[in-house]
A = this chain, B = another copy of it.
Amino acid sequence: MFSPISKFGCNIMENLKENIEDSRLTQPIYSFEEGAVLFNEDEKDLRKTLLGGKGANLAEMTDMNISVPPGFIITTEVCDLYLRNGKFPEGFEDQVKTYMALLETQMNREFGNSKNPLLVSVRSGAKASMPGMMETILNLGLNDKTVEAIVKQTKNRWFAYDIYCRFIQMFIDVVMGIDRSNFETALEVLKAKRQVSRDADLNAKDLETLAKRYKQIIEKRAKQPFPEDSWQQLYSAIEAVFKSWNSPKAKAYREIKKIRGLKGTAVNIQAMVFGNMSELDSGTGVVFTRNPNTGESKPFGNFLLNAQGEDIVSGTRDAEPINKLEEAMKDIHGQLMTILAQLDEHFKDMQDVEFTIEKRKLFILQTRDGKRTAYAALKIATDLVKEKRLSKEEVLLKLDPTQLDHLLHKRIDPNAPKQIIAKGLGASPGGACGKAVFSSEKAEEWAKKGEKVLLFRPETVTDDIRGMEASQGILTSRGGLGAHAALVSRDRGKPCIVGCSALEFDWKNMKAFITEGDKVHEINEGDYLTIDGSTGEVMLGQVPMLDPELPEDFYTIMEWADEIRKLRVRVNTETPEGCKKALDLGAEGIGLARTEHMLLDPKKLSIFRRVILAQSKEEKSRALEDFLKIQREDIKEIISIMSGYPVLVRLLDPPLHEFLPKEEDKIQALASEMGMDVESLKKNIEGLREANPMLGHRGCRLGITHPEIYEAQVKAILEAAIEVSENGKDPRPEIEVPLVGDVNELLEMRCLIEKVIESYKDRIKFDYKIGTMIELPSACLTADELAPHADFFSFGTNDLTQTSLGVSRDDYKKFIDKYLEKEIFENDPFAVLDKKSVGKLMKIAVEDGRAVKPNLEVGICGEHGGDPESIELCHSLGLDYVSCSPFRVPGARLAAAQAVIREKGLSIQGKV
């Protein structure tokens, strides 16, 4: 018999699901009207969860009496059930039919009817915006019979067969999974035959032939005919959209954008309206209610006459700027401007609006909070407060802290000599320099090897997302400011130039050519180039860059954040440049200066190697003296720059073998440098080798077995601070003991430090602190014992994560992708603090430490200190400060403010 204990089946996930009480959670389909009336003002988040962002906004617009083609939404819950069970829930098709019947009534057309057919669009729409990542099918409902009905109704055979061809193309690509390229050849052949270059120049008869040809190819490739039945088309399309939730590109996008905890996409089914009815009175466009590049409070966008939406989004046709619409259709332009103002007002943020004009009637197809550059985000935020639309707290909450570092990107030095060889459209600002690569795969591959690359492409598509992410910047020969490359780059803060028509590719020989007047520059993969995403200039070689200047709005926002935040923000750095940069960006001290990083310079490293390898007492003490000197000079410089601010200096942390070479040739070189014989040096290195260096002989364990090293470092810190203080500045050194796990270690090290201090007593006229890194579970669990002997705690969350989860950061790449894919880990634990375990240990440490010493200063160093989600955790734990790399300081200040605002219970729709 089965063990009674073993009562869990594989439906564990099912069992875990909370009981559903709210009937809205089980309603599978909502009409736009239902979507508007069934949710209250304070249930907008629930609505978005169920209906997706697009669906929710369509419902809201319907409610606002804005002209939206009618339709309905299939919820994300249905998607979730579909993806888990591989089939629609019981009775789902009937419910679709009910809502289609409603739509038929509203449109006075019948789905699949060969006289008066209803055509629909089937579009994805998750809670979080994932532009271009999932599938869309337009013109659904067409078949050999209904297309003829459209011909009759519109009296426009060209139009009817244009949308039929488009529909077949989309359907075979999205639903049948047959690569589009199979069909493009047919199109190209036909265009060549007709000696035309634009698709639009083919005549109606050509398009009819093309539709037939497409369907023949399908039968051959897919071994099944194209479905003529409209209902079959519809259900297949819904399934395809559901499945596209888990497509590799969609998953990659969610991973990069840290979109988590969503169940799937909603599906929007909407009556078709047509922007491609004629060149005269039809068209389509995408407009932002404000300028997404600058934030200027003026609509910005493009439109195309006689086009469907995809023509704009794909950037395959150069669109006109929106103000030109006034010339073409003044009345429609006026209506559009009114609606844009209405939407901007209603959604209290810049909207990204898609519209279609069908025979001089304006339809709004969707609206959403628009993606914007960091510059624009700040401008819009301050404007929204000036316009009294939102409070300071509300706009702070809308800003993305991780986007702020885009502002800090370097720009091309205007005074540097440069050879400009081409110019395109500056699509995303900032300078970028790197080795040219001609594919996303290569971009990823080379970036993994540590190369800086620039991605050169004719244009980018959604599959290029990882390659773009891996590149310093992007250059495309085609596309406009609304093209994929432009949108993505802007969002990710990557410098980007599009539409650089001087650029051509020779794929056979993997070369590119840039034509400059009568000169042709040959570009090979690996050649250095520089691009300026602000001016659109392409330059040969590596052009020097300058640090960016920050806009006034940045300082306004930072000021608001500083008024609110409670956490102080320090910086992790050990260089003078890092210190200066950090002070500029508002850092309030150094949270981590790693003494071992000061040894990266080969000369300094050589001195420290002499400490490690000294053969006699005399040699050792001479080496230690030199070591003291170089450490003192480095520390003096940063303490001096940071005058008035605390400077936390960590005593040596890594195991000694990390300072010695592993490669045969380097060992030989070192041996001759040190005057040692190779064999004994090898023996020395071998003796230091460790199976698990992360858990090895490092941190204070070195301090205990090699007290002379820590002694020299403490002397260096004190002598540095003394000199700085005697020069009239205000040093505030903090001496940190790493890897403490037992109070006896801290006692031993504190004793060593205090003894050194005693010997400098008369010259110490400044405050100092002695504290410990908290980076082991044992340190957290014995915080009450440690606190009496530590002036401060500083969480080393990298190591604390490694030990708490038992995961080596050097090795976890082997399984982390699988873990994130299967959602075993919600986040990469080295990017976002693990709350369940690491957070719990931190809580214990803070509470137990402060119970013994209420004024204990507690901070966090390690890069978690720059991650907004982790900062929120730190705030809630009552930490005094976070510390992160210089460029993340502004984001940390903002995130710290957001934590306070969120704690007050304020939440806001749509984080931008």
Identify the A interface with B (CB < 8 A).
1-3, 5-6, 8-10, 12-13, 690-697, 701, 704-705, 739, 741-742, 744-745, 747-748, 750-751, 754-755, 757-758, 761, 764-765, 767-770, 775-778, 781-782, 785, 788-789, 791, 799, 802-808, 810-812, 814-815, 818-819, 822-825, 834, 836-838, 840-841
Which residues of chain B come closer than 8 Å to A693, judged between CB atoms? 691-692, 811
- In the complex, the answer to whether A5 meets B811 with C-beta atoms within 8 Å is no
Query: Does the CB pair B776–A805 fall under 8 Å?
Result: yes
Which B residues are in CB contact (< 8 Å) with A2?
761, 764
List 8 A-B pairs, minimum CB-CB distance, nearest first. Answer: A695-B808, A778-B837, A691-B810, A692-B808, A696-B811, A744-B824, A776-B806, A777-B777
Whether the pair A819, B704 counts as a contact (CB closer than 8 A) is yes
The residue from B747, B768, B791, B804 contacting A803, defined by CB atoms under 8 A apart: B804
Q: How many Å from the CB of A260 to the closest CB on chain B? A: 13
Q: Which of A745, A808, A838 has the most CB of B within 10 A?
A: A808
A693-B811, A764-B2, A777-B777 given as contacts; is B704 within 8 A of A822 (CB)? yes
Q: Which residue of B lies closest to A656 (CB)?
A: B814
Q: A6 contacts B769, CB within 8 Å? A: yes
Known: A692-B695, A815-B705. A840 touches B8 (CB 8 A): no
When chains A and B are docked, how far (Å) is the Cα of A453 from the Cα of B587? 63
Tell me how far the C-beta of A10 lies from the nearest C-beta in chain B, rounded to whole angstroms: 5
Asked if A811 contacts B747 (CB within 8 A), the reply is no
CA distance A695 to B815 in the complex (A): 12
Contact between A692 and B811, CB atoms less than 8 A apart: yes
In chain B, what residue has the closest Cβ to A688? B814
Docked complex Cα distance between A824 and B741 (Å): 10
Chain B residues with CB below 8 A from A748, complex form: 822, 824
Nearest to A7 among chain B residues (CB) is B791
- Check B789–A12 contact: CB distance below 8 A: yes
A826–chain B nearest beta-carbon distance, Å: 9
Q: Tell me the nearest residue of chain B to A840, going by C-beta.
A: B781
The reply to whether A8 and B789 form a contact with Cβ atoms under 8 Å apart is yes
Residue in B770, B776, B777, B782 whose CB lies within 8 Å of A6: B770
* Contacting pair B8 A750 (CB below 8 A): yes
Residues of B within 8 Å of A824, CB to CB, are: 704, 742, 744-745, 748
Q: Are A768 and B6 in contact (CB under 8 A)?
A: yes
- A750: B residues at CB distance < 8 A: 8, 12
* Sampled A-B contacts (21; CB under 8 Å): A6-B768, A8-B754, A10-B755, A690-B814, A692-B692, A692-B808, A694-B694, A694-B808, A695-B695, A695-B807, A696-B814, A701-B815, A704-B822, A741-B807, A744-B824, A777-B804, A778-B805, A781-B836, A782-B837, A803-B803, A803-B804
Residues of B within 8 A of A757 (CB): 6
Residues of B within 8 A of A775 (CB): 806
Point out the residues of chain B lying under 8 angstroms from A690, CB to CB.
808, 810-811, 814
Are B781 and A5 in contact, with the CB atoms below 8 A?
no
A808 proximity list for chain B (CB < 8 A): 690-692, 694-696
Q: Which of A8, A812, A834 has the most CB of B within 10 A?
A: A8
**Once the chains bind, are A836 and B806 in contact (CB under 8 Å)?**
no
Distance of A788 Cα from B13 Cα, bound (Å): 13
The one of B695, B761, B785, B823 in contact with A744, judged by C-beta atoms closer than 8 angstroms, is B823
With beta carbons under 8 angstroms apart, the residue of B691, B776, B818 that contacts A705 is: B818
Find A697's partner among B12, B695, B799, B815 (CB 8 Å cutoff). Answer: B815
Give, as a whole number of angstroms, the nearest-CB distance from A335 to chain B: 51
- The reply to whether B741 and A806 contact each other, CB–CB distance below 8 Å, is yes
> In the complex, how many angstroms separate the beta carbon of A729 from the nearest chain B beta carbon?
17
Expressed in whole angstroms, the Cα–Cα distance for A80 and B367 within the complex equals: 80
* A777-B837, A841-B777 known; A806-B12 Cβ under 8 A: no
How long is the Cα–Cα vector from A824 to B742 in the complex, in angstroms? 8
Given A10-B755, A694-B691, A818-B704, A769 and B3 touching (CB < 8 A)? yes
Asked if residues B701 and A836 are in contact (CB atoms below 8 Å), the reply is: no
Task: List 13 additional A-B contacts (Cβ < 8 Å) besides A3-B768, A694-B806, A778-B838.
Answer: A2-B761, A6-B769, A10-B754, A691-B808, A695-B811, A697-B815, A701-B815, A701-B819, A705-B815, A777-B805, A781-B836, A785-B836, A803-B803
In whole angstroms, how far apart are the Cα atoms of A113 and B742 in the complex? 55
- Residue in B closest to A755 when the chains form the complex, CB atoms: B10
* A751 to B12 Cα, complex, angstroms: 8
Across-interface contacts of A754 in B (CB, < 8 A)? 6, 8-10
Contacts of A761 in B (CB 8 A): 2
- Asked if B10 and A778 make an inter-chain contact with CB atoms under 8 angstroms apart, the answer reads no
A296 CB to nearest chain B CB (Å): 46
Q: Which residues of B contact A841 (CB under 8 A)?
A: 777, 781
Q: Which residue of B lies closest to A817 (CB)?
A: B705
Counting chain B CB atoms within 10 Å of each CB, which of A696, A745, A750 scores highest?
A: A696
Cα-based distance from A791 to B822 in the complex (angstroms): 24
The distance in angstroms between the C-alpha atoms of A506 and B761, with both chains bound, is 61
- Which residues of B have CB within 8 Å of A691? 693-694, 808, 810-811
In the assembly, what is the distance between CA of A742 and CA of B764, in Å? 49
Residue numbers in B under 8 Å from A758 (CB-CB): 10
In the bound complex, how far is the Cα of B764 from the Cα of A2, in angstroms? 7
Which of A13, A741, A757, A791 neighbours the largest number of chain B CB atoms within 10 Å of its CB? A741
Q: Give the shortest distance, in Å, between A329 (CB) and chain B (any CB).
A: 55
Q: Which residues of B contact A802 (CB under 8 A)?
A: 692, 695
Q: Which residue in chain B gives the minimum CB-CB distance to A767?
A: B3
A788 CB to nearest B CB, Å: 8
Minimum C-beta distance from A307 to chain B (A): 46
A431: min CB distance to chain B, Å: 35
A742 to B767, CA, bound (A): 44
Complexed CA–CA distance, A667 and B528 (Å): 41
Do residues B781 and A837 form an inter-chain contact, with CB atoms below 8 A? Answer: yes
Which residue on chain B has the smallest CB distance to residue A839?
B781
Complex CA distance for A3 and B646, rounded to whole angstroms:
13
In angstroms, Cα B769 to Cα A2, docked, is: 10
Whether B837 contacts A741 by the Cβ 8 Å rule is yes
The distance from the CB of A299 to the nearest CB of chain B, in whole angstroms, is: 46
- A778 in contact with B804 given A745-B824, A768-B6 (CB within 8 Å): yes
Contacts of A804 in B (CB 8 A): 776-778, 781, 803
Q: Chain B residue with minimal CB distance to A771?
A: B5
Q: Which residues of B contact A744 (CB under 8 A)?
A: 822-825
Query: Which residues of chain B are near A785, meaning CB under 8 Å?
Result: 836
* Cβ distance A648 to chain B, nearest Cβ, rounded Å: 14
Note all chain B residues with C-beta closer than 8 A to A815. 697, 701, 704-705
Residues of chain B within 8 A of A812, CB atoms compared: 696-697
CA distance A19 to B704 in the complex (A): 29
Chain B residue with Cβ nearest A799: B806
A13 to chain B: closest residue by CB: B747
Q: Which residue of chain B has the shortest Cβ distance to A12 in the bound complex?
A: B747
**B contact residues around A701 at 8 Å (CB):** 815, 819
Task: Report B-chain residues with C-beta under 8 Å of the C-beta of A697.
Answer: 811-812, 814-815
Q: Closest Cβ of chain B: how far from A746's Cβ, in Å?
A: 10
Q: Is the CB of B742 within 8 A of A836?
A: yes
Residues of B within 8 A of A810 (CB): 690-692
Closest Cβ of chain B to A354, distance in Å, is 38
A778 CB contacts on chain B under 8 angstroms: 804-806, 834, 836-838
Residues of B contacting A10 in the complex (Cβ-Cβ under 8 angstroms)? 751, 754-755, 758
A704 to B400, CA, bound (A): 34
A841 CA / B812 CA spacing, docked (Å): 24
What chain B residues lie within 8 Å of A692 (beta carbons)? Answer: 692-695, 802, 808, 810-811
Provide the residues of chain B in CB contact with A806, threshold 8 Å.
Answer: 694-695, 739, 741, 775-778, 799, 803
